[in-house]
Homo-oligomer: A and B are copies of this chain.
Amino acid sequence: MTSFNEFDLADMPQRYRANFINSLSGFKSANLIGTQTANGVFNLAVFNSVFHLGANPPLLGMVFRPHTVRRDTLENILETQHYTINHIHKNMIKQAHQTSAKYDKDISEFTAVGLTPEIHGAFPAPYVQESKIKIGLQMREVLPVKSNDTQIMVGEIKEIHLAQQLLSPDGHVELDQAEGIAISGLDTYHLPQLLARFDYATPT
């Protein structure tokens, strides 16, 4: 075992610390966020920060970095109030990662990386056709985090489109059957294999 204290962390080179700290929460979700500008340009961006916030009402959270970098996704959501979350699968990881490149604002990442926008009814944000689990959300609130000037977007799930065979009789979605991805650190993609599903635990 090796140990680091807060002074060791403060002394680390920036990129080293980013890799290190980004690994410490454990495995992360791997999603593509679809939005559109007021002019109808589709935007797509890989996020590893989507997290479950509650089932009733159905809410998901997502972290945005401070306003020192361009944040097209956040600006589009604040403008249109809507966004999509699309799961990343094994056969999409290259394209998904490539959406993190800094393209000009009038270029759609869909076109740039070779993924297909899909529109459902009147929902004002594009889904990713190649994804097997797609979620349409409406913005509910934005939580400012004082400790580091990040913001947490809270969205309510308004619609879900998924491949029927992934849905278990009890509502569980078999992410491993979809070849869903887990991210570690900033840039490392993993394929999770099912180990076990447990019953509700009671004292023994």
Contacts and interface: CB of A to CB of B under 8 A. Distances in A.
B133 A141 contact: no
A185 B201 contact: no
B6 A159 contact: yes
Nearest to A196: B189
* Dominant SS among interface residues on chain A: mixed
Contact of A51 (B1, B49, B156): B49
Contacts of A4: 159-160
A125 to B, nearest CB: 15
- Indicate how many identical chains form the complex: 2
B9 A58 contact: yes
A40 interface: no
17 contacts: A4-B159, A16-B170, A18-B171, A19-B170, A22-B55, A24-B60, A27-B192, A49-B52, A53-B150, A54-B147, A61-B152, A90-B195, A99-B201, A152-B152, A182-B182, A182-B192, A193-B193
List 6 A-B pairs, minimum CB-CB distance, nearest first: A26-B29, A190-B192, A19-B171, A23-B173, A16-B171, A20-B171
